Amino acid sequence: MKYYNNILETIGNTPLVKLNKVLGDDFPALVLAKVETTNPGNSVKDRMALKMIEDAEKDGRLKPGGTIIEGTSGNTGMGLALAAIVKGYKCIFVTNSKQSKEKCDILRAVGAEVIVCPTDVKPTDPRSYYQTAKRLKEETENSWYVNQYDNLSNRTAHYEQTAPEIWDQTDGKLTHFVAGAGTGGTVTGCGMFFKEKNPNIKVIGVDTYGSILKEVHETGVLRPENAHVYITEGIGEDILPENYDMSVIDHFEKVTDKDGAIYARKLAKEEGIFCGYSAGSAMSALVQMKDQFTKDDVIVVLLHDHGSRYVGKIYNDDWMKEMGWL
């Protein structure tokens, strides 16, 4: 008989799928999508969630029967919750009000307590989801604050797992790696691995307007005051997480909230790949950069999470019409 001992053993080994229509008939390069939605929690975050928990268990930060506390846009929370179920931990997750209702409902469905904080406050504000998570850590006995932004096990997971998978699947022939940039774990961890294998591989982070990541990359200066609220979920930051190593990222491409939403819908309708908001942003970024690619390029674009997280927003015609995008 062939079976897994628990759901955590099904994480990884996600498929690489050629994109045929969504980027247009005149797109010059071969584009391969790393479809991370086949992970059990339907996102790339399952990889780093398990890695962060395992590392915290090893060094004693997470003790038996403990409570896992984290600020999350939803996907990291799902990965942590699945691991917590198997390993016997409780979870308290803090998110912000711009995240879809589906994400909160899914987290509650797998047994987590979810606290929603306002979006339009500074990271240092006590009401922000960053500060609320830290406060809960102090108030909760036998708890561990994950802090995916500064927890380097995040990027290590992608250095050890995601990037080697892609390298093997492409026989080392990829020329570009494209991923949404949020906590920095995926784009940096994969970027570190690819640059070691071949320094000529271009690593591209997908950013959104309102985020400060592209500005920090180009100027080396962090100006949190330049951040403003945006609608796109899962990418962009108003802080600079420690998971970033900007030296392994060659370029950040910014995409509007509207274009990310439209291209996510195109990806679903034209490729049959039902993915989240950041996947649409990645598609739009590639189209914007089309003139920079050649017929000899092999581009791997990572699709972070599943479209089921966004059925009340970008996949809802009424919501899209309210935004003026449909």
Both 130 and 185 in a single domain? no
Both 32 and 50 in a single domain? no
Residue 122 has pLDDT above 90, yes or no: no
pTM of the complete model: 0.95
Both 51 and 159 in a single domain? no
Q: Is residue 150, in this structure, part of any structural domain at all? A: no
Q: Is residue 326, in this structure, part of any structural domain at all? A: no
Spell out the residues 6+ positions from residue 192 whose beta carbon is closer than 8 angstroms to its own: 155, 159, 163, 245, 248
Mean pLDDT of the chain: 96
Interhelix angle 257-271/277-288, nearest 10 degrees: 100
Strand partners of residue 95? 116
Residue 236 has pLDDT above 90, yes or no: yes
Both 276 and 198 in a single domain? yes
In this prediction, residue 120 has a pLDDT band, given cuts at 50, 70 and 90, of confident
Both 22 and 59 in a single domain? no
Q: Is residue 74, in this structure, part of any structural domain at all? A: yes
Both 233 and 283 in a single domain? yes
Residue 9 has pLDDT above 90, yes or no: yes
Both 225 and 87 in a single domain? no
Q: Is residue 214, in this structure, part of any structural domain at all? A: yes
Residue 234 has pLDDT above 80, yes or no: yes
Last residue of a domain, one of 126, 145, 164: 145
Both 102 and 79 in a single domain? yes
In this prediction, residue 309 has a pLDDT band, given cuts at 50, 70 and 90, of very high
Residue 212 has pLDDT above 90, yes or no: yes
| pLDDT tens-digit map of 160-188 | 999 999 999 999 999 999 999 999 999 99
Q: What is the pLDDT of residue 100?
A: 79
Q: Does the annotation count 134 as an active-site position?
A: no
Instruction: Determine how many CB atoms are found less than 10 A away from the CB of residue 5.
Output: 7
Both 179 and 208 in a single domain? yes
Q: Which of 107, 116, 201, 194 is nearest to 155 (CA)?
A: 194
Q: Is residue 52, in this structure, part of any structural domain at all? A: yes
Residue 121 has pLDDT above 90, yes or no: no
Q: What is the pLDDT of residue 202?
A: 98
Which pair of tokens denotes residue 251?
A: 């370029």
Last residue of a domain, one of 90, 121, 145: 145
In this prediction, residue 130 has a pLDDT band, given cuts at 50, 70 and 90, of confident
| pLDDT tens-digit map of 64-114 | 999 999 988 789 999 999 999 999 999 999 998 887 788 899 999 999 999
Q: What is the pLDDT of residue 221?
A: 96
Number of domains in the chain: 2
* Cβ–Cβ < 8 Å for 271, 181: no
Both 162 and 276 in a single domain? yes
Of 2, 18, 34, 45, the catalytic one is 45
Residue 119 has pLDDT above 90, yes or no: no
Q: Is residue 1, in this structure, part of any structural domain at all? A: no
Q: How far is CA 162 from CA 16, 46, 80, 115, in A?
A: 12, 11, 18, 30
Residue 115 has pLDDT above 90, yes or no: yes
Which pair of tokens denotes residue 87?
A: 């390993």
| pLDDT tens-digit map of 244-293 | 999 999 999 999 999 999 999 999 999 999 999 999 999 999 999 999 99
Residue 19 has pLDDT above 90, yes or no: yes
Q: Is residue 72, in this structure, part of any structural domain at all? A: yes
Both 23 and 72 in a single domain? no
C-alpha–C-alpha distance, residues 153 and 303, integer Å: 21
Q: What is the pLDDT of residue 129?
A: 85
Q: What is the pLDDT of residue 23?
A: 98
CATH of the domain at 187: 3.40.50.1100
Q: What is the pLDDT of residue 123?
A: 81
Last residue of a domain, one of 145, 169, 187: 145
* Cβ–Cβ < 8 Å for 188, 244: yes
Q: Is residue 2, in this structure, part of any structural domain at all? A: no
Average pLDDT over residues 41-51: 98
* Cβ–Cβ < 8 Å for 230, 209: yes
- Give the domain extent around 65: 45-145
Both 216 and 197 in a single domain? yes
Residue 299 has pLDDT above 90, yes or no: yes
Q: What is the pLDDT of residue 97?
A: 86
Is 235 or 98 the better-scoring residue by pLDDT?
235
